[in-house]
Amino acid sequence: MAVCCEIDNLKGRREVILDDMNSWINFSSCLENHLLLSSPIYRRQLFLIRSFGGYCCKAHMEGQGAASGKITALEADAETVIRKITPVLDPRRHKGQAGKIAVIGGCREYTGAPYFAAISALKIGADLSHVFCTKDASPVIKGYSPELIVHPVLEESYSVRDDEKASVAKRVLAEVSKWMERFDCLVVGPGLGRDPFLLDCVSDIMKHARKSNIPTVIDGDGLFLVTSNLDLVKGYHLAVLTPNVNEYKRLIEKALNTEVNEDDAPEQLLSLAKCIGGVTILRKGNSDLVSDGVTVNKVSNFGSPRRCGGQGDILSGCVAVFSSWARSSNKEMDDKSASSPMMLGCIAGSSLLRRAASLAFADKKRATLTSDIIECLGKSLEDMIPAEQG
């Protein structure tokens, strides 16, 4: 359905053109301000524009109007996105059809982050969750939960002689590659660390995933790796970057050679996504901003004032699952016009995490931990889309 808004400079009115209805409907302001007065048709149009195509009018696209030249981010209708892409619980489906996720991360120092990402994927409905980590991290992560499939295949510099590095790197890639086609999405970076040899091995894994068209969510030390080599993701439309404040600052400096501009945050994020070649970027903050280089969406439902570590790992696991669900639903419907599954996955994952964090904080207050938030993921999703109803 083609819908657009144009500003009447003389009368100060905006006209919404509904091509398929062959009619003109005049409003004193844009469609968004008339949600409560509009019909379900118009509410559906607004949702499609905001979550599946961008802006409802030129005034929104350019901030205060044509003269300002600014881009503003519209609040995404995250609840509708979640309902649209979450699969029905159908007894005819078999194990694996609701998602198979793999986390690439976990080293001697960091074992919690990959666990948080992997277990969060299971908690919102993925069928299988794998972790590819170092040998030192493996028994610890296995001890956290028997639900995870843990592969102790990664190596750090201290355990490999210089003359063995080439052969070991080849073996690591082979071990991960034989599983690759089974996965619906990878999460790269949680608890990865910055060991040079380990990062080189993960670079090879990411290149192989890209050749195989495996969606990839990059967080934590994976962003450190990508910032030092943007070509790993440049032009890859199935890649998602999830930077926090400091990670975003480094990306801006590297890709755009400038500083973060909070006054024009949506426009700068759009420019960054375009510069890296159409990847989807979820900029974490008080309000999460998401851009795929074409549109900018905002997710700002209330989360939690408690900033315990690990919430970003939960987010990466959630985005991986929702992105794979969105991709699957697009294929099932053969919907070529649907929005990017990575964009939808970011919107859904961000909103669900915020809901879960809010529930956890309401119960635990200052004592809220990451594990408390994880335990609220299921209820948060159930509140929006009851399992019995699909």
Which domains, from first to last, does the chain contain? 3-70 (no CATH), 85-380 (3.40.1190.20)
Question: Residue 151: what pLDDT?
Answer: 98
Amino acid identity at 367: A
**Across residues 3-22, what is the average pLDDT?**
35
Q: Minimal CA–CA distance to 343: which of 42, 78, 118, 105?
A: 78
On the CB side of 165, CA atoms within 13 Å amount to: 12
pLDDT digit string, tens, across residues 83-125? 999 998 877 777 877 899 999 999 999 999 999 999 999 999 9
The answer to whether the CB of 118 falls within 8 A of the CB of 130 is yes
b/e burial code for range 166-196 (CB count within 10 A of at least 16 → b): eeebeebbeebeeebeebbbbbbbbbbbebe
Annotated binding site: 191, 244-250, 284-288, 303-313
pLDDT digit string, tens, across residues 307-327? 899 999 999 999 999 999 999
Annotated binding site for ATP: 284-288, 303-312
pTM: 0.82
What are the C-alpha distances in Å from 128 to residues 51, 98, 159, 209, 331? Answer: 28, 8, 30, 18, 21
The answer to whether the CB of 280 falls within 8 A of the CB of 350 is no
Question: Residue 332: what pLDDT?
Answer: 58
* Mean residue pLDDT across the chain: 84
3-state secondary structure of 191: coil
Residue 5: DSSP 8-state: E
Annotated binding site for (6S)-NADPHX: 191, 244-250, 313
Least confident of 52-66, 99-113, 127-141, 149-163: 52-66
Question: Dihedrals φ, ψ of 136, to 5°?
Answer: -70, -35
Q: Who has greater pLDDT, 163 or 98?
A: 163
